[in-house]
Amino acid sequence: MVDDPNLMIRCEEDDPMRCQAVSRAQGQCRMLSFAGLARDGHLATAEEAEAAKTVHNCPIHAGGDRMEIAKKRAVHSLRVGIWQKRLDEHAEDENVKTLRGEIGALRMLLEEIIAKCETQNDLILHSHRISDIATRIEKLVTACSRLEINSGLMLDKAAILTLAGKIVDVVSRHVTDPSALEDISGNLLEALGEVTGTSE
């Protein structure tokens, strides 16, 4: 960029974008700074033009080095902006307190590793990775279950039985037939057993 003769452009003495370098022999440089080059559309890319806005020297007076630093800063700022956007998306996600996505990702990874194993030797070679991922899945499932119970997304067995009792109480206020109440209570316990996996 510094060697590009097209970037060495003379400007008027009163141009505010004039290079800020000063020498004893010649005074202030008469060339456009990178900021001036950006203003007048002499830079090749929008990225260069954005970075150039803070560079007040011309290419010959270390402007090129400053331009490279400014470009790196601009790229860094862009990346930080992208990461911040992704971070905000995750923070605002209604599923932020669940680990189901992470569990799914690990299960997919485990499936991919096993799918690539064509022989028993392959399985043995990858057994450490398979075991490690399986352990991680187990820990995530336990943590996910704990999180969901604590945040009220999932009920434990005791809470379900309490809820069932309250449902029977509500129904008994409106149904006076004892045999019907007994049937409702039995059917409810049966259904809960099926849901919780405790039915005989």
One-letter amino acid of 72: K
Is 164 found in the same domain as 140? no
Whole-number pLDDT of residue 1: 44
Is 60 found in the same domain as 18? yes
**80-109, pLDDT tens digit by residue?**
667 667 656 655 555 555 677 788 888 898
Is 77 found in the same domain as 109? no
**12-52, pLDDT tens digit by residue?**
888 888 988 888 877 888 888 888 888 888 777 777 777 77
* pTM across the whole model: 0.36
Q: Which of 116, 118, 114, 108 minimizes the C-alpha distance to 130?
A: 114
- Report the alpha-carbon angle 57-60-61, nearest 5: 45
Is 49 found in the same domain as 119? no
Range of the domain at 162: 157-196
> Based on the structure, what is the number of domains in the chain?
3
One-letter amino acid of 11: C
In a domain, 95, yes or no: no
Q: Which residue has the tokens 């005074």?
A: 27
Is 69 found in the same domain as 23? yes
